[in-house]
Structure 1
Amino acid sequence: MQHNYCGQSCSVVKCWQWNIKRFIMFQTNKTIQDKYAVLILNRPISQNPDFVKSFWNNASVRMAVDGGTARWDTFLNQLPEDVQKTMKLPDFVTGDFDSLTEDVLNKYKKKGTKTIRTPDQNNTDFTKALMELNKHCQQENLQLDHVIAVCQNSGRLDHILANIQTLHLVKVDNLLNPNTTVYILSDDSISWLLSPGDHVISVPEETRQHRRAWCSLVPIGTPCESVTTSGLKWNLDNQELKFGELVSTSNTFDGSEFVKIKCSHVILWSMRVPHLISE
């Protein structure tokens, strides 16, 4: 019997319960109980400003990663002046700073943001930011439930793949506490890795009822020899997911409140969250 992060339990050895509503607010006046960190990567911030404001200010830790600092600064400057004053500063700005001007870096230094230069070229700025976040959590005895990287799955393909690589390194290299999950938030979608075992994913009503809802299960790094699902329009029954053969992209939901997935190997789960951007 293993308890999962959301406080419920499952009757199998390896079982995870997932509920993104615990950290993505569907009502801006709702208090979030879970502790999470937000990382802004170097892509335009496309999400609804009302969502971003509450999501950012409710975070336990706020980080801007290299050029993501300029992206945050641009987003901030587009807000009304009175709203800008309500926005919390980044706790950290990290990176090798090859994508960030000295002007923007010094602007946040002067405001009190801690800046950490991470020159190592063997890891991406995203990976190094997680390393610095882990140091901070250990020093402050802070246990995070989630880390959400705000980016876009567009632009350079190698950057997109590098972000997925970072998700793997979190587990392989123990970059964070094992009870902390890292998510990628891109436009109106969210993605994270599912480890081998059983998963129960709570699907928000607005997602499963949306006319253009979608989800996907993609094997990353190695084939997933066996996947069984329920709650999808096109379910899998002990089938292999493998590049060159079957990959479950552009799937969707059957209207059920939960999607259940049993997988033999790691897969990347993604789903649409319509309220994140304005239609």
Structure 2
Amino acid sequence: MSNGILSRNIRKMVQYNLRNTFYDYQNHCGTSCSTIKCWKWDITPVILMHNKPSLRYAVLILNRPISQEEAFMKNFWEKATLRITVDGGALRWDQFLTRLPEEISNKMKIPDLITGDFDSIAEETLQKYKKKGCKVVHTPDQDYTDFTKALKELNNHCQEHTIEVDNVIAIGQASGRLDQILGNIQTLYLAEKQHLLHPETKLYLMSGDSLSWLLEPGNHIISIPEETRKHNRAWCSLVPIGETCHSVTTSGLMWNLDNQSLKFGELVSTSNAFDGSDTVKIKCSHTILWSMKVPSLTGE
């Protein structure tokens, strides 16, 4: 092969690789993102129950009171691709159903899966759902929380039945025992570090009228629902957990960060707010926990 032909072939290969690289970044964030990872987050379709046939998500009910607005929870549960109750979460869901009119509660879909070590659920409740045809998986391993084990079983169930979900939303109040709240955040980290879910599946923690999730090192573009932007008590936070985030730069916040460090004992960006923009952009050097208010979850 002549040097001229070889050079042309090399140029074609380089151009092809550059196009593919740009396309990959476009898929992640809608903009060219240099050479760092970039994610785009938009929770509006799930929270507002937009009628999208391709909307695929799983709901996990953890063992905490369900405080979300009744109409929201009914639609949220019914339209889910998968429905899972985690240990005492089955009792919490059963209690929620008893608050509904009988003609409605009887028509609600049953959980696809009930998991846990079953130290927080009465045998009577467990047998009740077994008789209805719910799949029950006992996970006695005490090295992990029931939430963490439930994610593993969710992934197993999806692989076994060839089911794909884009989002997993766990419902568990950020109230009560502080160690359990921190344990839930630990599960968010384990899901990422131990690859408990499909790499493209996003994991959220819903608590009251807020949503929380992890932002890995890189660029993030977060779509802010209109109801949040216009709410007079809307809030958000960026919290480093487990390690210092040495550099955070943001736009779209009331109090933006400019290449600043987030660290316990120094600066932690709690009780932040929005500047009215429809997106918040965040660039972080290390993983941080992002939380934000979503008023429609509780109707407040």
Q: If the length of structure 1 is used for normalisation, what is the TM-score?
A: 0.96
- What's the CA shift string for 1:15-53, capped at 9, x where partnerless? 1111001211256xx346321100000000000010001
Q: Which has the larger radius of gyration?
A: 2
Question: Do the aligned partners of 2:78 and 2:108 also contact (CA within 8 Å) in 1?
Answer: yes
Question: Do the aligned partners of 1:40 and 1:149 also contact (CA within 8 Å) in 2?
Answer: yes
1:73 Cα deviation from its structure 2 partner: 0.1
* Whole-Å separation in 2 of the counterparts to 1:201 and 1:182: 14
1:172 maps to 193
1:155 to 176, 182, 193: 176
* Whole-Å separation in 2 of the counterparts to 1:128 and 1:3: 32
1:145 Cα deviation from its structure 2 partner: 0.6
2:203 maps to 182
- Percent identity between matched residues is 61
1:120 maps to 141
Q: Which structure carries more helix by proportion?
A: 2
Letter in 1 for 2:164: Q
Question: Do the aligned partners of 1:232 and 1:254 also contact (CA within 8 Å) in 2?
Answer: yes
Question: Do the aligned partners of 2:29 and 2:220 also contact (CA within 8 Å) in 1?
Answer: no
2:37 maps to 14
* Whole-Å separation in 2 of the counterparts to 1:274 and 1:215: 12
- What's the CA shift string for 1:181-236, capped at 9, x where partnerless? 11000000000000000000000111011010000000011010000000000000
SS at 2:155 equivalent: helix
Question: Do the aligned partners of 2:254 and 2:275 also contact (CA within 8 Å) in 1?
Answer: yes
Question: Do the aligned partners of 1:149 and 1:183 also contact (CA within 8 Å) in 2?
Answer: yes
Consecutive unaligned residues of structure 2, counting only runs of 5 or more, are 1-21
Q: Does 1:25 align with 2:48?
A: yes
2:229 maps to 208
Letter in 1 for 2:242: G
2:275 maps to 254
* Whole-Å separation in 1 of the counterparts to 2:90 and 2:160: 24
Change (3 A) 1:181 1:221: same
Q: If the length of structure 2 is used for normalisation, what is the TM-score?
A: 0.89
Question: Do the aligned partners of 1:207 and 1:274 also contact (CA within 8 Å) in 2?
Answer: yes
The CA RMSD over aligned residues, in Å, is 1.5
Q: What are the within-5 Å matches in structure 2 for residues 30-179 of structure 1?
A: 30-31=51-52, 33-179=54-200
- What's the CA shift string for 1:78-113, capped at 9, x where partnerless? 001121123110001100000000000000000000
SS at 1:23 equivalent: helix
Change (3 A) 1:4 1:139: farther
Consecutive unaligned residues of structure 1, counting only runs of 5 or more, are none
Question: Do the aligned partners of 2:29 and 2:221 also contact (CA within 8 Å) in 1?
Answer: no
Q: How many residues align?
A: 277
